[in-house]
Amino acid sequence: MIVLFTDFGLNGPYVGQMKAVLNCEAPGIPVIDLFADAPVYNIQANAFLLASYALGFPPRTVFLAVIDPGVGSGQRPPVVVESHGCVFVGPGNGLFDVLCKRDETSRQWEILWRPEELSASFHGRDLFAPVAAQLAVGGEPRMRPLPIDQARIARLPEELAEVIYIDHFGNLITGIRASALPEHATLYYRGSEVPRVRTFAEAPPGCPLCYENSNGLLEVAVNQGAAASLFEAKVGDAVAVT
């Protein structure tokens, strides 16, 4: 299968244009929408988000992941990364660094293949989608091995103590894995202690809480409410854990 992870949004033509390419180049291969509303331009937040949500997919899944504020500039190579048993296609701008940090067996290649026509502003459609399709059907696009930037990866924090995504319910997903914290750890957000629970029902309706979400990340929520509204939250807000 091919899984889409982008900041393109569902309003407008961009995701549909990429899907049209995938349908032509890899007919019959399922295409799954994972995120179309990933935090816009935010490479670091998306690196942590992708690293957590990619783990729920079977081996050899091809991820078409495009968070690319430097598109067309030549500032980053187009890459294919093999990590955690899956394949990731997208810009080599740090988006796959957390995956590589958490899997020492990760490998990377620079994409040398180019289409006959390559726009300066939409490599997701013109370059990355065709390569993802080729890989999904067992093809071998022209590539060469590219060393992983170990120095850049080493500078990454183990956990990102920030809000990295706000979902449809107004829940605030952080870049902190719950498994990295002791059970008695306390989370603070916007200067307030947020009680840690296992289920929403452990907090009264309208009250804030934090819990381990279904993908293993700490998440701030409000039982039957929206934490995003209560806290006037935004992606990039710092959280603190003691």
Type of residue found at 173 = I
Distance of CA 21 to the CA centre of its chain: 22
Question: How far, rounded to the nearest angstrom, does the alpha carbon of residue 91 sit from its chain's CA centroid?
Answer: 13
Percent of residues, the chain, with pLDDT higher than 90: 95
Question: Per-residue confidence at 99, pLDDT binned at 50, 70, 90?
Answer: very high
State residue 182's pLDDT score: 87
pLDDT band at 74 (very low <50, low <70, confident <90, very high): confident
**pLDDT tens digits along 141-180:** 999 999 999 999 999 999 999 999 999 999 999 999 999 9
> Cα dist. 183→92, 103, 179 in Å?
36, 25, 9
Q: Per-residue DSSP letters for 218-234?
A: EEEEETTB-HHHHHT--
pLDDT at 66 over 90: yes
pLDDT attached to residue 150: 94
Query: 3 pairs with which residues across the strands?
Result: 32, 63
Reduced to 3 states (helix: H, G, I; strand: E, B; else coil), residue 17 is helix
pLDDT per position as a tens digit, 16-65: 999 999 999 999 999 999 999 999 999 999 999 999 999 989 999 999 99
Query: Tokens 């916007």 belong to which residue?
Result: 190
Give the chain's domains with CATH numbers: 2-154 (3.40.50.10790), 160-241 (2.40.30.90)
pTM of the model: 0.96
> What is the identity of the amino acid at 22?
L
Partners of residue 187 on adjacent β-strands? 194, 241
